[in-house]
A and B are shown apart, each in its own frame.
Chain A
Amino acid sequence: MSNPLADMDKPDVIFCIGTNMTECHPVAATRLKQALARGAKMIVADPRHIGLADLADVYLPIRVGSDVALLLAMAHVIVRDGLVDPVFIAARTTGSEAFFEHVGKFTPEWAQTITEVPAADIERAARIYGEADRGAIYYTLGITEHICGVDNVQSLCNLMLMTGNVGREGTGINPMRGQNNIQGAGDCGALPNNYPGFQPVTDPANQAKFEKAWGRKIDLENGITKVTALNLAGDRIRAMLIDGENTLLSDPDRKHCEHALRSLDHLVVMDIFMTDTAELADVVLPATAWAETDGVCANTERRVQRLRAAVPPAGEAKPDWWLISAIAKRMGIKGFDYASAKDVFNELCEVSTIYHGLNWDLIEDGAYHWPVPEKGHAGTPILHQDKFKNGRGVFMRPQYRDPAETISEQFPIWLTTGRRLESYHTRTQTGRSEGMDYLLPEETLEVHPADVDAWGLTDGGWCKLTSPRGSVEVKVQATNRSPKGTVFASFSFSDVPINALTGSGYDPITETAELKVCVVKVEPCEGIISPAPVI
């Protein structure tokens, strides 16, 4: 997030797009609700009638994957109606003229034909955001998990830049990160293009810096992404070390994933349970869980916080850093003589530019937002205050593109996927916590009531859901949350592996999968006997 969570009750206009915040980041959503209670306005764009839609001043039920069209048209209205911030544009951006010309042809009427949202509502949303004194944008995977994820983010950046809604309290562009330490995994350099602190591996100065710190010259070339690595499994990729990820259930195209992992000569998995993925491994190592682990994490607002062990590890489980270090030492790799999590974190701070001013003791109270470039620095709750990291904010000129798959006679229905409040990811944890089944016992396919009738389904009955990649059987739930022609399911339940269906395409730049869109057909079926709950 460019701005801290504490800022969420300060905007006068909130624009939520592709974020089901009341279910996926419920505590952050409480702050938005408080802002609304104080009179802030909210625009919500989402194909599904999610909880936020009920609270919105303008709700834009866009067709799945049509975000760029909506955002181009909003930019069009903001330019046309003179709602841009010329002072900010002149002082802090570049490329505005070409961008303004670019959006000239993308009228709300044009966007209506793609988004299926009335042009008048697009106009209204654009004017509300354009007129905001403090406008803040919030998004989640509904923006990024598309073949045009980068275009979506750049389109949001354009709105922010043209209106100067950045670098101030209650503004900014704020991705809500989905996992407790997904921010930290990137911060720590678990990326094929960056050392810790987002220092590019392609920069010879960084190569020299890490050679000095660690004693080995590392390639100047980027590595491949996980997506490519799975594609090359059994070919160029022969061995994998996977930490705490249930790839088989969480990644798109289950069949492909399973084939990839089975093709490896050597797979080592570290986890707290024998997940579907661990079942495929040659070696499974028991890791300590939450409440057993000392360490550090970074949240969605870049706040660096301490994790503390409250109980001893289960059985012989060990912290992940210990497991990785033990393997490294047996291979004769140098630099893994750590005695504690504190040792590891302090070394990270030494080599990371964004953590350089931190150490284990300083983060005791979680008071710092990175970047903290040097000792004595107070941290950076709000990014981009006086300048952008790379100088000026650049207006990009994205074009709308159709999703990788579009509905056809054979597959006439859109499927979109996500999470629900009462379960987390593949339920390795929530599925093993007493009582959660009371609220969410099984997977269901959310279908608009009119579609339930039109497709010959019954509410509570079973259907067979088929995409070009596979089929699953799932119970039908009639609900107005789904728009007509679009169905929804989560990827939580291993007995209804929705990722057997997804995986239609990937963003060409980030290689993020288009998990938010694929095409399916839905047929009534007799159904299967409901399997026993996991507990």
Chain B
Amino acid sequence: MIMKSSTAVAKMTLDGEEVGFTPGETVYEVAERHRREIPTLCYDPRLEPFGGCRLCVVELEGARAPVASCTTKAEPGMVIRTRTDAIDAHRRTLLELVASENRENDVDPLRGYASQELATLLDRYDARTGRFAGSHSGRTRDDDDNPFILRDYDLCISCYRCVRVCAEQQGDYAISIKNRGFATEITTEFSGLLRGSACVFCGQCVQTCPTGALADRKALANAEVPGKIEKTRTICPYCGVGCSVDVMTKGERVVGVQPAMDGPANEGALCVKGQFAFDFVHHHERLVKPWVRGEDGRLREASWDEALDRAAQGFLKAVAEHGRYSVYGIASGRAPHEAAYTMQKFIRMGFGTNQIDNCSRA
């Protein structure tokens, strides 16, 4: 049988098993696909591999030292071991070093989508040993009073995911790295506040942070609300891009929003409105009852029976006095299909006319 070269699959050995890969894939991607659980902290599948945290190291036969799987391209004939005692010990030590730097490692999941990554790995590798003590890097920016993004850099592990997501995904280059080693700071131009920098408060840095050092202040304000966090997948209520979001609720309360990393329109991105402008839902000015205009010309609360009868009678009266063309319907570009569909059917079935439009002309 003649095999076309384009369909030939390159092969490598992964933990003793021969596996195929597509040229261009990294060792990490191949291993992921084959359900190996390689730990990472600086990795975000949407970003260029960085190779900073060194947790994803694997043994490559013939190499002098373990290699970072996220930055190593798969090559035919490679022999890779993703878990050995030596690799596990290496990962545990690294995690212990990282953990020793932080004020705390267990943070509220309301801080952000990826905020539990470090704590989860510490448990997986049994790395809560307190083996190391001493210097800490990162200082929380208490002076930044913006209502959306908490800059709790005491928890920063310098993975630079925030810096990279802002540059590579959001394209705004609002945050950067200053200094090196224990003096490393994640900061804005001239070390100022986020407001006044190129930051547009899209929240992408918050959602990729693996320790909760950057945190969703609005969600975190609900930390004390009792109950377990539930997530419901829906679509952002603002512009027409149609970003997928997970609405976080505790009981009957919306406590925050997280972008859907697999949302087809947004792939993990949101803007300031979709990320942070959600609490109008529970605003005290919400209409919670029907209202009708009373004899005195003022609107007053009414029963459903009274309101619906008033609504229906008004349309019937208009038709009786002025004919069926006198009734007009305006559908909303904010409400779902079911609203627009029933609205046009109401006009067409109710009056036999096409006296219907939506708000797209203005």
Contact = CB atoms under 8 A, between A and B. Distances in A.
Given A181-B336, A181-B340, A433-B279, A317 B234 contact: no
B253 to A, nearest CB: 7
Contacts of A190: 329, 331, 340-341, 343-344, 356-358
Given A192-B355, A330-B309, A439-B201, A422 B280 contact: no
Interface string A338-354: 10010011011000000
A184 B329 contact: no
B327 A316 contact: no
B85 interface: no
A226 interface: yes
A284 B299 contact: yes
- Give the interface centre of A281, A321, A510 by most chain B CB atoms within 10 Å: A321
Interface in B319-351: 321-322, 325-350
B171 interface: yes
A348 B278 contact: no
Contacts of A305: 235, 242, 244, 265
Interface stretch (A82-90, A296-304, A459-467, A473-481): A296-304
Interface in A229-260: 229, 236-245, 247, 250-252
B224 to A, nearest CB: 16
B235 A297 contact: yes
A505 to B, nearest CB: 13
Given A24-B239, A317-B288, A429-B277, A241 B330 contact: yes
B354 A193 contact: yes
A217 B348 CA distance: 9
Given A241-B329, A282-B314, A287-B335, A184 B340 contact: yes
Interface residues of B, number: 110
Among B277, B290, B341, B347, the most chain A Cβ lie within 10 Å of the Cβ of: B341
A245 B362 CA distance: 11
Given A282-B314, A432-B283, A311 B332 contact: no
A185 B349 contact: no
Contacts of B358: 182, 185-186, 190-191, 226
Contacts of B286: 272-273, 286, 289, 314-315, 317
B337 A226 contact: no
Given A189-B341, A327-B311, A226 B147 contact: no
Contacts of B202: 26
A73 B247 CA distance: 48
B4 interface: no
Interface string A270-304: 01111000110111111101111101111111010
Interface stretch (B111-119, B180-188, B267-275): B267-275
Nearest to A499: B362
Most buried by B among A26, A195, A279, A308: A26
B316 interface: yes
Interface string A114-129: 0000000000000000
B317 interface: yes
B163 to A, nearest CB: 15
Contact of B348 (A210, A236, A366, A515): A210
B337 A187 contact: yes
B40 to A, nearest CB: 22
Contacts of B233: 306, 308
**Chain B binding surface, main DSSP class:** mixed
A94 interface: no
Interface stretch (A102-110, A157-165, A172-180, A389-397): A172-180
Nearest to A28: B241
B336 A27 contact: no
B289 interface: yes
B205 interface: no
A189 B238 CA distance: 21
Interface stretch (A30-38, A39-47, A131-139): A30-38
Nearest to B262: A365
B200 interface: yes
B335 A320 contact: yes
A327 B346 contact: yes
B341 A347 contact: yes
Contact of A513 (B148, B307, B362): B362
A265 interface: yes
Interface string B227-242: 0001011111111111
Nearest to A331: B312
B361 A511 contact: yes
B2 interface: no
Contact of B147 (A191, A298, A434): A434
B170 interface: yes
B308 interface: yes
Contacts of A29: 171
A290 B304 CA distance: 22
A326 B309 CA distance: 9
A181 B308 contact: no
Nearest to B286: A314
A36 to B, nearest CB: 8
A221 B325 CA distance: 11
A303 B263 CA distance: 12
Contacts of A335: 345, 349
Interface string B171-208: 10000000000000000000000010000111000000
A205 interface: no
A328 interface: yes
A334 B292 contact: no
A299 B357 contact: no
A299 B321 CA distance: 41
A376 to B, nearest CB: 20
A285 B285 CA distance: 14
Contacts of A290: 234, 237, 281
Given A344-B342, A435-B218, A27 B287 contact: no
Most buried by B among A215, A293, A299, A308: A299
Given A221-B354, A285-B290, A311 B253 contact: yes
A216 B361 CA distance: 28
Given A176-B240, A325-B342, A439-B272, A192 B235 contact: no
Nearest to B334: A244
B266 to A, nearest CB: 5
11 contacts: A178-B239, A180-B237, A185-B359, A186-B360, A286-B287, A305-B242, A307-B336, A324-B343, A348-B341, A424-B238, A430-B273
Q: List the 6 closest A-B pairs by CB distance, nearest first.
A: A315-B288, A299-B242, A33-B171, A295-B336, A435-B147, A177-B240
Given A189-B344, A245-B330, A433-B276, 16 more contacts: A29-B171, A179-B239, A185-B335, A226-B330, A243-B343, A250-B362, A271-B287, A273-B286, A286-B289, A299-B240, A306-B235, A308-B234, A315-B289, A316-B288, A428-B280, A430-B280
Interface of A: 5-6, 22, 24-30, 33-34, 36-37, 176-193, 195-196, 201, 210, 214-219, 221-227, 229, 236-245, 247, 250-252, 265-266, 268, 271-274, 278-279, 281-287, 289-293, 295-301, 303, 305-312, 314-317, 319-321, 324-328, 330-331, 333-336, 338, 341, 344-345, 347-348, 366-367, 421-422, 424, 428-430, 432-436, 438-439, 510-513, 515
